[in-house]
Structure 1
Amino acid sequence: MEINNVTWMACSDIWEIGHCLMLIKRLIAFSSKPFRQQSTLFRKKFSTEFTDNDAQYERIVHESGVCLRLPTGSAFRGGSTADRVSVGASQLEGQNVFVIHPKVRWGANSAPSNTTPELMLEEAVALIRTLPGFNVATSVLVGTDYNTKKKLIWGGGRLEALMQHKLKHSVTAIMVNVDMLTPIQQTELTAYFGVPVYDRYNIVLLIFKLYAKTREAHLQIALAEIPYIRHRLKFLDHDSDATPDALHVDQAVTSLSHGKADKYEILRLREHSLRKKLKAVMEAKQDELESRGEKGAHATTVVAVIGYTNAGKTTLVKKLTGAKHIFGEDRLFATLDTTVHSALLPSGCRVVFADTIGFISSLPVTLFASFQATLKHVVNADLLIHIQDLSHPNVNAQRDNVIETLHELGVRKDLIENMLTVGNKIDKLDGGEVCLDDVIEKHGDKDQLQLISCENGFGLDGLIEQIDQKVQSMTGARLRRLKLRPDSPALAYLYRHGFISPHSPPTPSDCEKFLIVDVLMNDDQFAKFRTHMPRKLKAKRVDS
C-alpha cells in the first residue's frame, strides 16, 4: 500500500471533544398513565391550542410533563449550543489527529475531474487546523476500490499499515475525509483503531459551534444536528455492540435517558421549539433588513456576497461599504452569522450588501439548509456576487461546488444566471506579477469575470461600476437631467423622496437662473413625479 503526503506536527493534549449544550432541564415525574398516552394527549393539545404566544406554549409544555429548558452547564458531545452565548476555545480539548483521505481509484465515486485527491486531503488538513488545540500529526492518501461503503472502508492489509502509522505518530484521534460515515463504519473504525473517529460533518459542526457568535447561529446549529442525533439513536437501539461515545452522542444519550420520557418524543419537542425560536429570529432579521432599506419608489437592492469559505467575502464587503466594525480573518468559516451593510452607489442607487456563510464541499446540503435564517439573504437577494479565491489551487472545484450548492438550496435560476463573478486575491498569483489576460483565459470569460484584490484595492472601482450598472438595469432606473427653478416645488419633491444623491447635488446653470439636477428614476417613478408637478418638465437622459 502506498501512503504519502505525510505531514508532522507536535503531539497535543489528551483527547476529549469540547462540550456543547443541548436538551433537558428536568423530566417531571409522570402519573400512572403510560407516557405514550400522555404523549398523544400532548400532540392533540399542541396541534389545537398552539399559538405564537410563548406563555401559551410554555403552559402546554408544562401540562404535558416535559420541560424543554436547559440547566446551566448541561452538555453532550455533538449536542446543542442554542442556549448558550458561545463555546470557548478553552472548552475544546486538544487532539493529535491522523487525517486519512480515501482515494477512490475507479468508478463514479472517484475524485471529480476539477480537483485531485491531494487537494481534497489538503482541505481536510486545513479544517482540522481551524480548531484550536487540534494538531495534524500526519495525513495520508489511501487507495480504495469503487466506493467507501464497506464497514472498515479498506481491506486488512491497508488497515494494518494505517494502524502502524497511527502508533508511530502517537495519534489520539482520526479523521476520515468523507462527508459522513455511517454509524456502523464509525463504530467499527473506532473499535479497530481505539481512538475517536471523525468525518467532515463532525469536524465542520465543531467549527460552527466554536466560532458561532449569535443566538441565531446557535439555534441553527442545534437544529442541524438533531437529525444526526436521531439517526444515531435508532442505530444504537438495534445494535447492541455499538456505543454512544463512538458515535459522538454519549452525552446526548445520558441527557435523554433520565426519567421515563420517550427520547424520540423529547427530540421532536426540542426540534419544534428550535424551529419556533428560529422563526422569530428570522422575522426580526427581516424587519431589520427592511428598516435599512428605502420603501416604495426608491427601494433598496439587496446584494448577497457568496463564495467558498475563506474566499474573501467579509473583506470585500468591508471594502465596498467602508464598514469599520467588520473584520475578515484568514481561516475557514470566519463568517457564520450574516451581517448586512448599507451603501450608496455612484449613480445614487441604494443597496444593502449581505455578508454570508461560506460554502464547502462534501457536506450534506441539509447541514447548510438548516442555516435558513443565514441563507435567507441569499435566497431572497436581488443580486448575487460570487467571489472566488484565484490563488487557491482548487479554485475550479470550489467554484463548481458553490454553483451546485446554490441549486440544491433552491436559489432561483434567474438569480444564478444574473450573478456577478469576481476573482479575488490576484495579488497572490506568482508573487503579484501576472498577466491579467492569462488569468481571465484560465478562469473565465473576460465579460463575466471581474479581477480584484481586496488586499491592495486593484479592480474595486471597476467592480463598483459593474454593480452599479447591474442594479440600474434590474431596477430600470437611469439618470435624468432636470432644469428647475430654485423655487420649484419639484425640487422639494425630489429632496423629500430621496432622489437627489449627496454625490450629485444640484448645480447652477450657465445663466444662474436655474438649477441642474441629475436624478435616478425609472419610467414609473418619473411618470409619478410629473403628475405631482403643475408645469411640464423637460428631462434629458444622461448616459452613465
Structure 2
Amino acid sequence: MGIMIRYFRQIYKTFNYRFQRCYFTYNDEDVNIQEFISRELKLEKTGHQVLVIQPYIKWGVKKDRATTPEIKLAESESLINTLRDWKVRDSMKIGVTAYRRQTFLGPGSIDNIAMKIKQDQRITAVFISTNVLKPIQHQQLEHFFKVPVYDRYLIVIQIFREHAFTKEAKLQVALAEVPYMWSRIRGLQENYADRLGTEAGQIALSSNMVIDDKKDLLKEYEKKLKKSVNKLRSHREHLRNSRKNKNLPIVAVVGYTNTGKTSLVKALSGDSDMSPKDCLFATLDVTVHGGLLPSNLKALYIDTIGFISDIPTGLMEPFVATLEDAMFADVIVHVRDVSHPNVDVQKEHVENTLKNLNINMDLLNSIISVANKIDCVENLQKDEDSIYVSCTKEIGLEELKAEIEKKIIQVTGRQILKIRVRTGQKEYEWLRSNTAVLEIENDGDFSIVKVIATKSDIDVFKHLFIYKTKSKSL
C-alpha cells in the first residue's frame, strides 16, 4: 500500500510540475535554469588542477601556418592561469592529421592522456584547447578520462563569469552562455535519436520529456535576456547621445586581450582610479575616461573588451552592444603588444573582427596603430605606420596624444581660429570655458585667442557676442 501511495504521489508531482510549467510562472524556474546551466558549463566553486591539451593539425590544407603549437599552448595556459584557484598541472601538444567526429582525438592520443591522468592523481580536469567540443565528443572524452573536460568556450565563460562585476557585464555573459546550452540540448536529442530501437528506447522516449522541459526553460530564459539586452542597447545609445550632445571627441581603444588597453587609457587620461591587470579579459565593461590633449582639447577615452581567437563567434556576439561604442567613436586606437610572439596574428584577428562589425570605412581607414610594451623588446624593428609606446615607462605618449589630436581635428571638422576679444570680458571667458585654447596674445585692452572650435562652437559664439551686439546697437 505504501509503495502505491508513493507511486501516485510521484505521478501527481510530475503532472503538477508540468501543468505549472505550461500555464503558470513557476516560482523555481530561475533556479531550474541556473542548475541546468551550472551543470552543463561545469561551474565549480573551487578551482582545478588542469592538464592542458593543445591539439594541432600536423600537415595539409587545415594546418595553421600563421602560428606554432608552442605559442598556442602558451595562450591556452594563460587562459587557465587567469582563473582564480585554477592551476596548470601539466600540458601536452598533440599533433593529428584530422579531428574525429565521435572522440575528437584518436585512440592513441586518448590512451596517452588517460595514462597521464592515472599517473598524476592531482589532475582534476582536462582542457582541450579547441574552439568548442561537440556534445558527443565531450561525453566520450569524459568517459575515458574520468574527470571534467573543458573546451575554450567553457574556459572563457568561466573567466567572463569571474570578471563580470556590473549588472551589464553579467547580463552579457549570461547571453553568451545561451548558444552553448542550445548545442547541449541538440546533442542530447541526437544521442536519444541514436538509441531509439534499442533496449534503451523506452527510456529515451521518457527522457525526451525532460528535454522538452529544458527547451521550454531555455526559451523563456533567452527571451528574458534578450529583452534586457535591448534595454542595455537603449541605455548605451542614450549614453552615446549624451556624450555627443556635450560635443566631446570620443576615442575608442581596442585590441587583443591583455595588450595593455586599460594601461594606455590610464596613461592618456591620467585617471589614477584605473587599475590595469596583467590577465586575459580583465575588462568586460565599457568604461569612459576624460583626458586633455596637447592643445587642452578635452577628449573621452573608451576602454573596450579585448578580442581573442579560436572561440565561437556566438560567445562574443552579446558583447557587440559593448563594442558598438567603438563604432560611433571619432577615432579608433588599436593597441598591439609587440613583445608577444604572435603579434601579427593578433593584429589581423582584431582588424577582421572590426570589419565584421560594419564600422564606417572612413573610421576604419583612419585607425591609429599603437605598438605597446616596447620596453620589453630588444632590437625592436619599427615601421612608419605605428606609434611606439610603453604605458608603464611613459614612452611615446606625447607623440600619441598629438596624433590623436590631429586625427580628431581632421575627422570632426574642428577649426583652428584666432579671435580678437576684450581681455577679461564675457566673450574672452566664454572662449576659455568652451573651446580648446592653444595660446593667448596680448594686444592692449584686447587679447588674440587662438582656439580649436567646432562649427557649433563658432555658431554659438556668433549668436551670443556678434549678432546680439549688432541687434542691440540697432
TM-score relative to the length of structure 2: 0.84
1:319 aligns with 2:319: no
> Shift of the alpha carbon at 1:223?
0.8
User: How far apart are 1:420 and its partner, in Å?
Assistant: 0.6
Is 1:452 equivalent to 2:389 in the alignment?
yes
Which whole-Å CA distance do the structure 2 matches of 1:324 and 1:383 have between them? 23
| AA of the residue aligned to 1:516 | I
Give yes or no for the alignment of 1:183 onto 2:125. no
Superposition deviation, residue 486 in structure 1: 3.4
Question: What letter is aligned with 2:262?
Answer: T
* Number of aligned residues: 441
- The whole-number CA distance in structure 2 between the counterparts of 1:406 and 1:157 is 41
Maintained 8 Å contact 1:201/1:363: yes
C-alpha distance 523-333 of structure 1, shift in aligned 2 (>3 A): closer
Cα distance in 1, alignment partners of residues 392 and 254 from structure 2: 18
For residues 79 and 210 of structure 1, what CA distance do their matches in structure 2 show?
17
User: Is 2:222 the partner of 1:271?
Assistant: yes
Give 1:485's aligned residue. 422
Separation (CA, whole Å) in 2 of partners of 1:439 and 1:78:
48
Q: Is the CA contact 2:335–2:371 (under 8 Å) kept in the aligned structure 1?
A: yes
1:380 has 2:328 as partner: yes
2-structure distance, mates of 1:425, 1:172: 36
Q: Aligned residue for 1:17?
A: none
Aligned equivalents of 1:492 and 1:80: distance in 2?
63
- Asked if the contact 2:330/2:412 (under 8 Å) is kept, the reply is no
2: CA distance, partners of 1:521 / 1:28: 69
CA-to-aligned-CA distance 1:435-459 (integer Å, 9 cap, x gap):
xxx521xxxx31x200000111010
Secondary structure, aligned partner of 1:239: helix
1:521 positional shift? 2.4
Amino acid at match of 2:102: K
Query: Aligned partners of 1:321 and 1:271: how far apart in 2?
Result: 38
Conserved? CA contact 1:311–1:424, under 8 Å? yes
1:143 partner SS: strand
In 1, Cα distance between equivalents of 2:319 and 2:109: 38
Fraction of identical pairs, as percent: 33
Paired AA for residue 423 in structure 2: P
Tell me if the contact between 2:440 and 2:448 (Cα under 8 Å) persists in the aligned partners. Answer: yes
1:528 offset after TM fit, Å?
6.2
Q: Which moved more, 1:320-329 or 1:405-414?
A: 405-414
SS of the residue corresponding to residue 381 of structure 2 reads helix
Q: How far apart, in 2, do the equivalents of 1:364 and 1:160 lie?
A: 28
Cα distance in 1 for residues equivalent to 2:78 and 2:65: 20
Q: Deviations over 1:215-271 (max 9, x none)?
A: 1011111111112111211221331499xxxxxxxxxxxxx988x983323212211
Matched, 1:340 2:288: yes
Read off the aligned partner of 1:519 and give its amino acid letter: V
CA distance in 2, matches of 1:72, 1:187: 22
User: C-alpha offsets along residues 139-183 of structure 1, whole Å, 9 cap, x if unaligned?
Assistant: 1111111x3243223332333223222323332211111111111
Q: What is aligned with 2:376?
A: 428
Distance of aligned partners of 1:273 and 1:398 in 2 relative to their CA distance in 1, 3 Å threshold: same
Is 1:232 the counterpart of 2:187 in the alignment?
A: no
Gaps of 5+ in 2: 1-14, 195-207, 470-474
Contact 1:80–1:225 (8 Å) recurs in 2: no
The code of the aligned residue for 2:381 comes to V
Distance 1:410 1:148, change over 3 A: farther
1:412-451 CA-to-partner distances (Å, cap 9, x unmatched) read 3332221111011111113xxx4xxx521xxxx31x2000
Deviations 1:508-540 (A, max 9, x none): 22xx22112122124575466446554899xxx
| Alignment partner, residue 99 of structure 1 | 52
Q: Does residue 465 of the first structure (1) align with residue 416 of the second (2)? A: no
- The amino acid of 2:167's aligned partner reads R
Separation in 1, partners of 2:250, 2:96: 46
Q: Which amino acid aligns with 2:101?
A: K
Inter-partner Cα distance in structure 1 for 2:358 and 2:439? 42
2:377 counterpart SS class: helix
Contact kept in structure 1, 2:269 and 2:290, CA below 8 Å: yes
User: Do structure 1's residue 400 and structure 2's residue 375 form an aligned pair?
Assistant: no
Q: Which residue does 1:157 correspond to in 2?
A: 108
Q: 1:108 aligns with which of 43, 56, 61?
A: 61
**3-state DSSP of counterpart to 2:273:** coil
SS at match of 1:180: coil
The answer as to whether partners of 2:240 and 2:325 remain within 8 angstroms in 1 is no
Q: Deviations over 1:348-378 (max 9, x none)?
A: 4332111111111101122111113322212
In 2, distance between residues paired with 1:465 and 1:337?
27
More helix by share: 2
Residue of structure 1 equivalent to 2:72: 120
Shift in alpha-carbon separation, 1:333–1:221, aligned structure 2, 3 A: same
1:104 & 1:135 partners in 2: Cα distance?
26
Native 8 Å contact 1:177 1:199 kept in 2: yes
Does the 8 A contact of 1:302 with 1:353 survive in 2? yes
How far apart are the structure 2 equivalents of 1:409 and 1:75? 34
**Which consecutive residues of structure 1, in runs of 5 or more, have no partner in the other structure?**
1-26, 39-63, 82-88, 243-255, 538-544
The answer on 1:513 being equivalent to 2:445 is yes
Q: Tell me, what secondary structure is at the counterpart of 1:518?
A: strand
Alignment of 1:63-142 (within 5 A): 64-66=24-26, 70=30, 75-78=35-38, 92-113=45-66, 115-142=67-94
Report the residue type matching 1:402 in the other structure: V
Distance 1:405 1:387 in 2: 14
Deviations 1:109-164 (CA, angstroms, capped at 9, x unpaired): 21232x1111001110111111122221211111111x324322333233322322
1:59-115 deviations in Å (ceiling 9; x for gaps)? xxxxx545587459964554799xxxxxxx9x63221211111120122321232x1
Q: Secondary structure at the match of 2:118?
A: helix
Measured in 1, the distance between the counterparts of 2:61 and 2:28 equals: 45
Determine if contact 1:310/1:331 at 8 Å carries over to the other structure: yes
- Residues 94, 132 of structure 1: 8 Å contact kept: yes
Deviation track 1:453-476 (CA, whole Å, cap 9, x = no partner) reads 011101001000010001011112
**Residue in 2 that maps onto 1:331:** 279
Q: Quick one: structure 1 residues 397 and 31, their matched pair in 2 at CA, closer, same or farther if it must change by over 3 Å? A: closer
**Contact 1:101–1:142 under 8 Å retained in 2:** yes
RMSD of Structure 2 on Structure 1 (CA): 3.3
Letter in 2 for 1:212: A
| Aligned match of 2:9 | none
Q: Which has the higher contact order (CA 8 A, sep 6+)?
A: 1
For the Cα contact (< 8 Å) 1:177–1:200, is it kept in 2?
yes
Matched, 1:208 2:166: no
**Distance change in 2, residues 1:28/1:407 (3 Å):** farther
2: CA distance, partners of 1:400 / 1:149? 29
